[in-house]
Amino acid sequence: MVDWQTVAQSVAGGLLLGGVYALVALGLNLIFGVMKVINFAHGTFMMLGMYASYWLFTLYGIDPYPGILLVAPLFLLLGVLVERVVVSRILDAPGHDQLLVTLGVSLFLQNLALALFKADPRSIRPLYADWSFSVGGVVLSAPRLGAFLAALALAGLFFWLLRSTDLGKAMRAAAEEREGAILVGIDVRWIYALAFGIGTALVAVAGSIVLPFFTVSPSVGETFLLMAFITVVLGGLGSFPGALIGGLLIGLVEGLGALLPGSLRQLPVFILFVLSLLVRPQGLLGSRQ
Amino acid sequence: MKVEVDPRRRPTIIGLLVILAILAAAGPFLASNRYAIQVATLILLFAYLASGWNILSGYGGQFSFGHAAFFGLGAYTSTILFVKFGVSPWVGMLAAGLVSALLGLFIGLACFRSGLRGAYFALATLAFAEILRVIFVNWDWVGRSQGLLIQLVGDEPLLFQFTARLPYYYIALALLALVSGVALLLERLKLGYELRAIKSNEVAAAVLGVDVFRAKMWAMGLSAFFTGIGGTFYAQYFYYIEPFQVFGVGMSVDILLPAIIGGAGTVIGPIIGAAILVLLGEGTRTFFRGFAGADLMVFGVILVLVILFMPYGVMGLLGSAPKAKKESA
Amino acid sequence: MAFLVVEGVRKRFGGLVAVDDVSFEVAAGEIVGLIGPNGAGKTTLFNLISGLYRPDGGRILLDGRRIDGLPPYERCRLGLGRTFQIVQPFADLTTLQNVMLGAFNQVRSEAQAARIGWDILVRVGLADKADWPAAWLTLGDRKRLEVARALATGPRLLMLDEVMAGLTPREVDDTLVLLRELRDSGITLLVIEHVMRAVMSLCDRVVVLHHGQKIADGTPVEVASFPQVIEAYLGEETEIA
């Protein structure tokens, strides 16, 4: 029998990681919402973000958190570059062509990482790696709590950007009515590039903040990409609140799954996913096509 | 009066027969070199798998990114039957096809009934393959992440085991001939017309009398059936399967890539695509020895270039696919 | 009883009532025009009749049989054909094959479908482009193909959504001839049309929609004199005749 404390511990652990899933899904949804492109390379950018933070820490002793200030602009640039060079050319193509192109980008970058860094898993041990807080008997590890809080802060920053800045308004306009946005003088091409760049920066930073407690290897992005896909299908493709709630929900269910015998921790998430497909295919907060 | 329905049909049939005849004649020559026959068999296997994928995704336009689900399930079905129950893999192969087809119908039910399509469908299929991977990685009875070994019994044709490599080559060739024949037949059947119509515009197809759901389910069942059989061939060829390999995203990509490169929705495209990709992969691996992943980097670049500049693949260049403007595709 | 009966049909999208309690009938062998300013709900009504939308209320009967719960392909099998305003040929099929897809609604074999398809291509004047990839066709030819495809399903009621929009006067005349031939061969026609010259000369009767409601129903000459019709169209600044 599991006691309530174990359950509470699992719920807390799941929710903390769920915050990171939400951040990853937010970036994916930003790109989809604005450009209607599903970015297969999203997980790859997260993996690269983790490597960037890893090398900053290992070579220069820069902790991943302050390192965000370097990683975010770097990946904003990388995202803009990939959008301008590759993705912008297939915006009018059928959806599966966009998936395939970003898959190609992902294959290239992931295997470039494999060639450069080898398959060896790498991790860092910052000072606070073993710190933890006890709240009512539930132990919260400092790196995970930090990642959760940072993810929420970034999500908040992102919502503020979307609601209150001219760039955010332009992005929402381009997302809802492309022709209209062009008519009122918005340069949609740069909005798209920036949306892709910001989405990429968000997921790279997600990589930075999980690095203190997560091992990086060239294939690590796949797991997070799958979780992000499930999150956006669950929450509704293109829905930002959906990504947030979906991410937390998936983290929660995965956390509870850890209570199962064996290592079936991801199975409840998948069951949730299949059920949501059958019952509510447009997602929790999505609208029907 | 006699009406020619499709001017591309006759060249396709002739081309296919020529290719199959050359491959059949080449067998004994290839067999003298162990490496050559290995590469040739891989080409045939991936041409076959891509042709199976092509039924659902190339003709029907329902892009699956998770065909590894059917491939892996097929591989495990026949292997479990053989290893645990002593059932001949020939019987297991049929069972593999049927079990995979059932899974395909279940996924189809989950996705098509609710009108899931495009990117949603692609994501859903990918997730289903990952779900199976996680299940098999954690399942003690089938060896968890270590997978299953097929015990060697020597030269036993009835148990799908040969000491020579040439029989495998001809089995793969027969499979390829079978699936290509089915694709050719499909192009003439009502179902084939319906699938190609659904690919362009489901709504227009529906008001022209097409039961869209039924047509998609048929395509899903057929495609999954052939893919499952391919899984059995793979298991018997390598005598070993493990979940990361057979259910991985990489396998799904390997299955769809030849069709994309060669030309989706054509009979010959997947064969040409498989030849290009396997040879290129082998070449890159030889040239960049010691750089794991170099071949996949090259595939990534080629995939991007093909999508950007040759949307109908190699067959598009040969004039065998409609040179449609992309927005009307 | 009339061949097509639309009875109190309603459709709402969120807060917008697109079709509001619309009733009308089409008798067998009639050509009925469905007109109205942009956004009047004409295409929505077509989508309701052909089964792409489920109505929120009301009934639709075809030849005495209730069809509003049936999926589109079953309505097609019962003899309901339609075209779309935005023409989109099936890009992976030739012109002939596009028409054959419709013919498969009547027959099972490819050879039979090809015969039906060929006859129809000859009839609409596309036979010389039979083996072209359909994506190569010009707008005028695409419109023709759209009609040909629907015709190949063997419809008893054919609903045409602006098949004359964007055509040259010459092409409009050809289309008018074709539509009269179709009526003479026993097909009932319900047409959405903005080309008023065509409406006035072709239709036996006209149904006028405005803001989702039916505001007039009568011969073309009658409805042209209805004050509410003139008002609806003046709001649009469009000439009616």
- Note the pLDDT tens digit of each residue in C35-65: 998 888 999 999 999 999 999 999 999 999 9
Confidence at residue C240, expressed as pLDDT on a 0 to 100 scale = 47
| pLDDT value at B324 more than 70 | no
Any domain includes C20: yes
Any domain includes C112: no
Q: What are phi and psi of C213, to 5 degrees?
A: -115, 150
If phi > 0 it is left, if psi is from -120 to 50 it is alpha, else beta; for residue C226 that is beta
Any domain includes C94: no
User: Which string of DSSP letters, residue by residue, matches B262-303?
Assistant: H-TTSSSHHHHHHHHHHHHHHHHHHHTTT-TTHHHHHHHHHH
Any domain includes C146: no
| Range B18-34 average pLDDT | 94
Going by the DSSP 8-state scheme, the letter that residue B57 receives in this structure is I
State the pLDDT confidence band at B64, using cuts at 50, 70 and 90: very high
Q: Which residues of B touch C133 (CB under 8 A)?
A: 322-324
Tell if the CB–CB gap between A115 and B65 is shorter than 8 Å: no
Please name the chains neighbouring C, where neighbouring means 3+ C-beta pairs under 8 angstroms. Answer: B
CB A126 within 8 A of CB A63: yes
Closest by alpha carbon to C187, among C18, C15, C31, C20?
A: C31
CB A220 within 8 A of CB A214: yes
Cα gap B168→B162, rounded to integer Å: 8
Exposed e or buried b for every residue in C61-98, given b needs 16+ CB within 10 A?
Answer: bbbeeebbebebbebbbebbbbbbbebebbbbbbbbbb
Any domain includes C165: yes
Q: Provide the domain count of chain C.
A: 1
The separation between the first and the last C-alpha atoms of chain B, rounded to the nearest angstrom, is: 31
Residues of B with CB under 8 A from a CB of C: 1, 3-7, 59, 188-190, 193-194, 196-197, 199-201, 203-212, 265, 321-325, 328-329
Confidence at residue A263, expressed as pLDDT on a 0 to 100 scale = 60
C176 token code pair: 């008018």
Q: Which CATH number goes with the domain that contains C12?
A: 3.40.50.300
Domain, as residue range, for C195: 4-85+156-234
pLDDT (tens digit per residue) in C121-174 = 999 999 999 998 898 899 889 999 999 999 999 999 999 999 988 888 898 999
Which ipTM score applies to this complex? Answer: 0.92
State the pLDDT confidence band at B325, using cuts at 50, 70 and 90: very low
pLDDT (tens digit per residue) in C179-227 = 999 999 999 999 999 888 888 899 999 999 999 999 999 999 898 888 8
Q: Please, where are the H alpha helices in chain B?
A: 9-31, 34-53, 68-85, 89-112, 119-137, 166-188, 190-200, 202-207, 212-238, 243-246, 249-262, 269-287, 294-309, 313-317
Any domain includes C218: yes
Selected for mutation to probe chain B from C49, C78, C101, C105 (highest B CB count within 10 Å) is: C101
Tell if the CB–CB gap between C133 and B323 is shorter than 8 Å: yes
Confidence at residue A169, expressed as pLDDT on a 0 to 100 scale = 87
Tell if the CB–CB gap between C104 and B194 is shorter than 8 Å: yes
| Range A125-143 average pLDDT | 87
Tell if the CB–CB gap between B293 and A89 is shorter than 8 Å: no
Percentage above 90 pLDDT, chain B: 76
Tell if the CB–CB gap between B7 and C131 is shorter than 8 Å: yes
Q: Which residues of B touch C97 (CB under 8 A)?
A: 5-6, 193, 196
Any domain includes C92: no
Tell if the CB–CB gap between B253 and A264 is shorter than 8 Å: no
Selected for mutation to probe chain B from C73, C75, C110 (highest B CB count within 10 Å) is: C73
Confidence at residue A287, expressed as pLDDT on a 0 to 100 scale = 54
Give C9's strand partners.
Answer: C22
Q: Which residue has the tokens 């799958």?
A: A226
Alpha carbon distances (Å) from A105 to A86, A111, A261: 9, 10, 38
Any domain includes C57: yes
| Range C71-93 average pLDDT | 94
Q: Which residues of B touch A267 (CB under 8 A)?
A: 131, 134-135, 138
Tell if the CB–CB gap between B207 and C77 is shorter than 8 Å: no
CB C20 within 8 A of CB C10: yes
B127 interfaces chain A, CB cutoff of 8 Å: yes
**Interchain CB contacts (distance < 8 Å): B and C:** 118
